[in-house]
Amino acid sequence: MQNKIRKLSRLLFLCFKYCLWQVGIVKRTEQKHVFVGGMQRSGTNMLMDILEKSLETDVYHERDPRAFDNYQMRDLSVIDKLSDKSKAPVFIIKALCELQDLSDLMKHYQPAKTLWIVRDYNDVVASMMKSFGNMEKQVLRILHKNSTEWLGRGMTESTRSLLTPLAQPGMGNTSAAAMQWYFRNVLFFDQQFEQNQQVMLISYEDLVKQPEIQVQKICRFLEIGFQPRMIKDIFASSINRRKPPEIDASTRELCDRLQLKFKHLLSA
């Protein structure tokens, strides 16, 4: 029943937003574009839900068939039409499968910004183990059979040469999931986003522990108004909820180094 009430409440709010745009109470002048990225199971859905609660945003989730096909963004000509049609001041779309394309997407949709959320790899791996079950097969296909599936797109030769010796049959899904966390998140630095003022790095842990402070920062970055309703359904109960997964020592060392890099950037 509670789930049905939440869904109905969301639909009513979206209708209310649409009406405000149509009558010009919330006006679009120069439309801004925002991409939400990050590794799967890192809080991207939560972040999209937060942003959707703003009156100024038109938000396209990866489950939206207008903009996505099997969780992958449709051709840019389709996204262009959705953007042109939208009367909202800020057009927001998820780009989980398109992390490797974010630099090009931001150039295409200027003015554009990106929110990249990162979560402790131990919790990501634990969550993936609960939700998925084919990580080892995926990693072996990508690193040893040159699979073209979205998960491995954009991987540099440096990353590939680093991970290929570690990706062996029998390594297990936990180590494979940690590798996925590594090669998807390292794309942040491959695209030099640490130097890009139009990209904001968000800590999942900080967001759920300090929702008001962090969401206000996000709103300032996007130049939209903060509303208390945006933080209504944020909970910190998912942090360290499960014991650390068993991950190959070499893979864990790589993840630890990358995670430390993110932490230094977040604390700067």
Structural tokens at position 178: 């940690």
Tens digits of residue pLDDT in 151-201: 999 999 999 999 999 999 999 999 999 999 999 999 999 999 999 999 999
pLDDT higher than threshold 80 for residue 264: yes
Residue that has been written with the tokens 């574009």 in this structure? 33
Give residue 137's domain range. Answer: 2-267
- 75 or 4, which is more confident: 75
**Which tokens is 147 given?**
């699979």
Neighbours of 233 (CB within 10 A): 12
Report the percent of the chain where pLDDT is more than 90: 79
- Confidence band (pLDDT; 50, 70, 90) for 78? very high
Reply yes or no on whether the pLDDT at 149 is more than 70. Answer: yes
Sign for the CA dihedral angle at 35, 40, 45, 47 comes to negative
Tell me the C-alpha distance between 228 and 191, whole Å.
34
Instruction: Read off the pLDDT band of 8 (50, 70, 90).
Output: confident
Tell me the pTM.
0.93
Residue 44 confidence (pLDDT): 96
Q: What is the CATH number of the domain that holds 182?
A: 3.40.50
pLDDT digits (tens, 9 = 90+) for 16-53: 888 888 877 776 777 899 999 999 999 999 999 999 99
pLDDT tens-digit readout, 195-225: 999 999 999 999 999 999 999 999 999 999 9
Q: Closest Cα partner for 159 from 137, 136, 182?
A: 182
Mean local confidence (pLDDT), 71-85: 97
The per-residue pLDDT for range 109-130, each reduced to its tens digit, is: 988 999 999 999 999 999 999 8
Structural domain count, the chain: 1
Q: Across residues 93-117, what is the average pLDDT?
A: 97
pLDDT surpassing 90 at residue 14: no
How far apart are the C-alpha atoms of 260 and 97, rounded to whole Å? 24
